[in-house]
Structure 1
Amino acid sequence: MTRKEFVRICGFLGLSLPFQPIISSKERDQNVLIIGAGAAGITAGYLLGQQGISYQILEASMNYGGRMKTNRDFTDFPIPLGAEWIHVSDKELEKIINNPNRTISTQLKKYPRKEQVGYYESGEMTYRTIPAVFGPFYKEQKFVNSTWLTFFEDHLLPEVREKIKYGHQILEVDYSGKKVKLRDQNGTVFNADRVILTIPLKQLQKGMVTFSPSLPDYKTQAIQRAEIWGGIKIFIKFSEKFYPAFTLFPDSDASNGQRLYYDAAFGQNSNSAILGLFAVGEQAKPYQYQVNSEQISYVLDELDQVFNGKASENYEKHIVQNWDREPFIEAAYLSDYESNGLTRELSHPLEDKIFFAGTAYTRENDWGSVHNATRSAHGAVNELLKAISAKP
């Protein structure tokens, strides 16, 4: 089963990973540090707070959200510069919140089966419906006038916000003693009983964090052999809409990357014509290599070929998010074609002191999305709670 088949089946069946509180009140005297305030870090903090466990989140940048980054100035609805779609059942939102008494205000929009998908090859465009292209179980949904980030801001961040400390890039992790010691770029030392590490995998691959003792060979090898895709998103505002819901190419879904154009305003309460470009892996590089005006010219030239010159005629403005240049992240996500054996090695905790959570640190046959990051956070917190309960 491929990753995409797994995603579709999970979306059809509504599968997720349950989070079960397993800790007693006498075992809550713990100090936990979470490294990173992205989806996994915020979720882990939120869950620890539900258990009454003391925690703090150390974030390298000056903003929360990580790859859920959102632009609110480009048009009349928020633009998701990173994570955009929800790939599984909307019941996943309830599982993330983990509280049946909380009302979820977030609205989602499914793609109608009649929506058109364009396929461009050898100078010719053909059109088919979404089920004909993506299969009968296609369950992708868009957030309505919101994003993944606003979902977190509305439902999780209020419980977590005061626990985040910004501008602390952790460079050293010493788990050789009873306490875990962390050192940031300024030499500040933090001590914790346990740590949940959600640093993007690319940062570990580049050796931005040193560990003492050194990481086990299996984990070091998993980190170094992981294929991590770079990525870019470009959003273009046009004076009129001339494109279908999705536009695909022969290389839109390949083992070395993906790319597509899509109607970014789909499902929004807006009349704006906003076209998005999503590209990762090798397919992202031609767009990333261009700079300044050359970049948008390259994109408009490509679109003009597909849509008979309408792109240049209707162009108004654009924004670019090159994830390879995003500080403290520097990539998109782990390749869809990696093995789940590798992600399990990446997620394995160290001596019941260091736990891993994030889009690449999963124990399922799927990764690279926000819901995976939250599931991994649930898993890491569960493992942490078990370790606390098992201590002599």
Structure 2
Amino acid sequence: MGQVTHVHESPHVIFMAPSLPLDIRAFAGNPKIKMKEAMESILFTAALLLSSHVFLTSAAGPSVIVVGAGFSGISAAKTLSDAGITNIVILEATNRIGGRICKVPFAGLNVEKGANWVEGVNGDKINPIWTISNQLNLKKYYSDYSKLSSNTYKEGGGLYDAAEIQSLIDTADEVSNASEQYSNSLPTSGRGDISILASQRLQNHVPSSAAEMVVDYYNFDYEFAEPPRVTSLQNTVPLATFANFGEDVYFVADQRGYESVVYHVAHQFLKTNKDGTIVDPRLILNKVVRAIEHYPSGVTVKTEDGSVYRADYVIVSVSLGVLQSKLIQFVPKLPEWKILAIYEFDMAIYTKIFIKFPSSFWPTGNGTQFFLYASDRRGYYAVWQHFEREYPGAHVLLVTVTDDESRRIEQQPDSVTKAEAMEVLREMFGKNIPEATDIFVPRWWSDRFYKGTFSNWPIGVNRYEYDQIRAPVGRVYFTGEHTSEHYNGYVHGAYLAGIDSANILIKCIKTGDCKYVVKAKDE
């Protein structure tokens, strides 16, 4: 098998170096090698492959390109390395690893632009992210949502009576329990799946008032980033993350960043210097992959800057949103069944907006951290959180929006978003509250390297389409949170999916068994 090789592409000629022990990248960084010798070697290797894509045998072992250094890509690369497959190159479009796990500076703090919680704790099984975060002693805080009934605000001002909201919460729980029983009665193939909204309608429960809608929004949109009318019942009720790992969630508020869990995994197989900075040449940042050519004998990956990389296999760990976009061209095109599976899943948008104030004006103390705003407009600045424990003295609020509200907000200036949020806060806490000084609005949907935040299982797809979205196409393998059978959309889903996809490739390499079985639609 061959090494991962890198060559430069000119407008007229592409030199595709074969899999020889010679690594052409060395010429660029070693001034002692004469240019004449370099060109002679390049021309020689190019001549060998001028009319073919055949890889030559090398002692280096099988070569793999991993596209994307998010948690799935890093997890997959480590799994390959642990299996002795170390001839890898990781191509990352941005200037960092971690993908949608990303800290950003805001008002003197580091806050999480993307993933923020360890979800699924204190259950029968141990969430692997909980284990890693504890090994790193990351600061985490239990999120207590139990007092929402006492902290739900009316549109126009004032609090709802706690008993009224608690009654709505209890009714929603009863409907959810009945929906779970119905979900468990459906065929395991998912063939008879319905939407969450359809299951609510079966029980004559369709949230319509502002108070009912905000409770419903908290239960579903706040978790899945899409409304019940499009979200699969069978794949979310019950939700495997909480059923398997426990119902508790912990907010990561460590100034090192939640991304520390990704670096922890990366440091186990990538070389670092004394201060922990990754210096392994196999990780190449700022490489935007634009084309993946795949053949029976290998793969060629081309990046936006004109670089060309060749290997035996490629693992594509980009987001579902990127797969649904035109950022990466596959040559030849992916088969129709694969394209259809990719398009059938949803890439949802979950936007966490941080707002800084000169002083705090909201209630603090036990049972006040989370509060709701019940608007007639579903999802309009609905779920709020303060950080009395996590960031003491910071005077920062977090409001979460999703789906259409996220798209709308991404397309308007931050000043408009701040004004809208301030109007809502003044309805909740009075007109004399101080003006916000800073605001941070992530734009995941607009970012061509993500095109959203995480995947959601919509109604109409089942286990058959899931198997297809995970299935390799020849020498092209796929991973990402969207390929996690039970935990799509979660950090642990991304981590476990990388391991799973890498093991599928390892089986192919080590045993020659490269078949991937997709069960029939109704099995």
Following superposition of structure 1 onto structure 2, how do residues 92-103 of structure 1 map, counting pairs within 5 Å?
92-93=127-128, 103=135
For residues 79-120 of structure 1, the C-alpha deviation after alignment (integer angstroms, 9 at most, x for no partner) is 0011111112273236886xxxx9443343223475546334
Choose from 496, 505, 520 the match for 1:375. 496
Larger Rg: 2
> In structure 1, how many angstroms separate the alpha carbons of the residues matched to 2:129 and 2:383?
30
Aligned to 2:96: 63
The question of whether the paired residues in 2 share the 8 Å contact of 1:173 and 1:183 is answered with: yes
SS at match of 1:295: helix
Q: Does 2:323 correspond to 1:214?
A: no
SS at match of 2:442: strand
Q: Does 2:79 correspond to 1:47?
A: yes
User: Match of 2:108, as an amino acid?
Assistant: T
Measured at CA, do residues 122 and 337 of structure 1 come closer, stay the same or move farther in structure 2, by a change above 3 Å? farther
Q: Does 2:438 correspond to 1:317?
A: yes
Choose from 115, 118, 137 the match for 1:105. 137
Measured at CA, do residues 149 and 267 of structure 1 come closer, stay the same or move farther in structure 2, by a change above 3 Å? farther
Measured at CA, do residues 266 and 323 of structure 1 come closer, stay the same or move farther in structure 2, by a change above 3 Å? farther
Aligned to 2:233: none
Superposition deviation, residue 262 in structure 1? 3.1
Superposition deviation, residue 291 in structure 1? 1.0
Measured at CA, do residues 152 and 111 of structure 1 come closer, stay the same or move farther in structure 2, by a change above 3 Å? same
> In structure 1, how many angstroms separate the alpha carbons of the residues matched to 2:392 and 2:152?
26
Aligned to 2:518: none
SS at match of 2:138: coil
Aligned to 1:294: 416
Aligned to 1:35: 67
SS at match of 2:484: coil
Aligned to 2:477: 355
Following superposition of structure 1 onto structure 2, how do residues 263-278 of structure 1 map, counting pairs within 5 Å?
263=385, 265=387, 267-268=389-390, 270-278=392-400
TM-score (norm 1): 0.79
Aligned to 1:23: none
User: Match of 2:93, as an amino acid?
Assistant: A
Q: Does 2:326 correspond to 1:204?
A: no
Q: Does 2:362 correspond to 1:242?
A: yes
Aligned to 2:428: 306
Choose from 487, 507, 516 the match for 1:386. 507
SS at match of 2:269: helix
Measured at CA, do residues 113 and 330 of structure 1 come closer, stay the same or move farther in structure 2, by a change above 3 Å? closer
Measured at CA, do residues 183 and 114 of structure 1 come closer, stay the same or move farther in structure 2, by a change above 3 Å? closer
> In structure 1, how many angstroms separate the alpha carbons of the residues matched to 2:412 and 2:450?
20
Aligned to 1:17: none
Superposition deviation, residue 52 in structure 1? 2.9
SS at match of 1:60: coil
Superposition deviation, residue 246 in structure 1? 2.2
User: Match of 1:242, as an amino acid?
Assistant: W
The question of whether the paired residues in 2 share the 8 Å contact of 1:42 and 1:157 is answered with: no
TM-score (norm 2): 0.61
Measured at CA, do residues 75 and 260 of structure 1 come closer, stay the same or move farther in structure 2, by a change above 3 Å? farther
> In structure 1, how many angstroms separate the alpha carbons of the residues matched to 2:350 and 2:135?
34
Aligned to 1:148: 258
Aligned to 1:20: none
5+ residue gaps, structure 1: 1-26
Superposition deviation, residue 53 in structure 1? 1.6
Superposition deviation, residue 43 in structure 1? 1.6
Choose from 111, 114, 125 the match for 2:159. 125
SS at match of 2:78: helix
For residues 192-228 of structure 1, the C-alpha deviation after alignment (integer angstroms, 9 at most, x for no partner) is 2221111122222122222233212111112223332
Percent sequence identity over matched residues?
A: 20
> In structure 2, how many angstroms separate the alpha carbons of the residues matched to 1:156 and 1:104?
14
When structure 1 is superposed on structure 2, of 145-154 and 353-362 the one drifting more is 145-154
Aligned residues: 356
Aligned to 1:283: 405
